[in-house]
Structure 1
Amino acid sequence: MTAGDGTSLTPAAVAARSNRMRSLGLAAMIAAVAALCVMSLAIGTRDVAWSDILAALHGQVDSIGQAAVAMRIPRTALALVAGAALGLAGAVMQGVTRNPLADPGILGVNMGASLAVVIAVAWFNITSAYAYIWVAVLGAACSAVFVYTIGSHGRGGATPLKLALAGAATSIAFASLVIAVVLPRNDIAGGIRAWQVGGVGGATFERISHVLPFLLVGFAISLLSARRLNSLALGDDLAAGLGERVAVARAVAALGAVLLCGATTAICGPIGFVGLVVPHVCRLFIGIDHRWLLPFSALGGACLLLAGDVLGRIVARPAELDVGIVTALVGAPFFIWIVRRQRVRDL
């Protein structure tokens, strides 16, 4: 590679320049998240002035505008952490499975968590917030293992295409089971249906505090798995030759993704396509190094969910469109584009 003046650059100089560009990109992503947080506080059924935002951030609720901002603060915080969790989980799942179509929704993980929560509510009458989270995480884990087991059968093992097909079939089956469980229970049907759409409305700091420990553990495990995911990207044989315990590396990284997916689904409902769209877009700009891809995906997921929530408030005024619907409208065409872009034999 040559510099602008025609002189050649050493590999170390190239790496340093690339890292500087990535650092600038990371700073830009952080600034974008901050800007979207401000927009989330300012935009809604009622637009508010800067003075109301600043007053509400200081705890004042003396006017209607300040009260509106006070209600949007936990909603913004939930969209921030949930988007980051889903974006990071998607990047980890794509790294674990080496599957460009991997996504908590497409692989059936979100719907597994959803089915577990619905069964727990309908059949066991759970009411504890922590019980919801544990049940959702267990359901997500069982679904992930089930899909991977089904996708591993047959010639070639767990290929990306077979995993995607197994996940799609599992999601459809679990969605049908959710309907079957809810239909006889009119007393919970309304709340379950609203939760299944996926959204961040009605968030409170109390609810966020219940799920935050699970998310923090998931974030830590996932981010610390970056080096292992880089090894897995080289192939199982080469990763094992480099001293990596492939099965352990894959299981630990998957655990982080399952924690993120299960906890997010418990509080927001099953929100799809964030984990598919965000890692792909980030990979186009910063490459495949998971040490950079994972934090970029977390910030990108936060941006997408914050922007989707703001857009949902604008397009249906004075009503609101849940962010799960907005991400589906964005993600479905993106999924079709990825499938058309990739050759089936290369998936």
Structure 2
Amino acid sequence: MTSTRTTAPRRRALLAASAVGLLAVTTACSSVDDGGNETGGDDTAGGGTLTELQDSGTITVGFAGEEPYSFQDDSGELTGAAVALNEAIYGELGIDSVEGTLTEWNSLIPGLNADRFDSISAGMSILPERCEQAAFSEPEIMYTTAFLVPEGNPQNLTDWQSAVDADINLAVMSGAIEAGYAEETDVQTTQVGSPQDGLDAVTSGRADAFALTGISLRALADNTDAPVEATDAFVAVIDGVPQIGAGATVFRDEDTELLEAYNEELESIVSDPERYAEILGPFGFTEAERPVEGLTAEMLCEGDLEAIADELGPELGLDA
């Protein structure tokens, strides 16, 4: 899904690969390389990275190529809802150019901590085990789950329990939250590396369905001629606990000043429904994906989903 955004002017990167290396020629704001970039993280009390990025005017973000969060369009340009949000926020911070490093999902946090890029722009779910490895911004996107299934939904999948009861083989992205759901509920899985791999697993019959976030699967189903459809989205319930989830931009632990500056600008967008819709709406995001008031990264990092449901149940649309 592509769109015209009104944040910072965008520029393109032309990539030319040869047997001896890769030459990336960047001509403006949003661009992509293959993962070989070294940006040099800062470990001096968190103050250095923001200043360095403002001085250079460019930030490099790691992304995993999942539409509609962060992906390359048909021209090879970096785009997506997470990227658009990053561009709006970094632009306010005096960083006008957002460049992308395409990275396998499981390598995003390791790549960040190895200074291959400055932050992660992939709509990554805030999970306790991830919070031990890196620092998450406040919630940017609320998550629900869905299944990509053959046309007609032959297994009649409607929620997570229906997948458990149907005894299916479920495609899940390696390292994604749905893989954790499957492990906790003993659902047989086929691990895949990307949304396209998940689609291929379903269309080839290697998997009965593919589990991912609802908005990702809607985009995937809309952009393929394959005989598949996305089920209605739902909040997965595991062992009686609603799996409340939200995605965020991710930073190195030491980059505290950059994180705080980002969160300050993020709050002004998330608290404004019209501005949130202006930035993320072109990628299919609605009011349902805007984080509810009161939900914080700290709450999600602590991982007490029952407490979150008790405190914010009505705001989250959960039954009392």
TM-score clears 0.5 = no
Higher strand share: 2
Higher helix share: 1
TM-score (norm 2): 0.25
Structure 1 or 2, whichever has the larger Rg, is 1
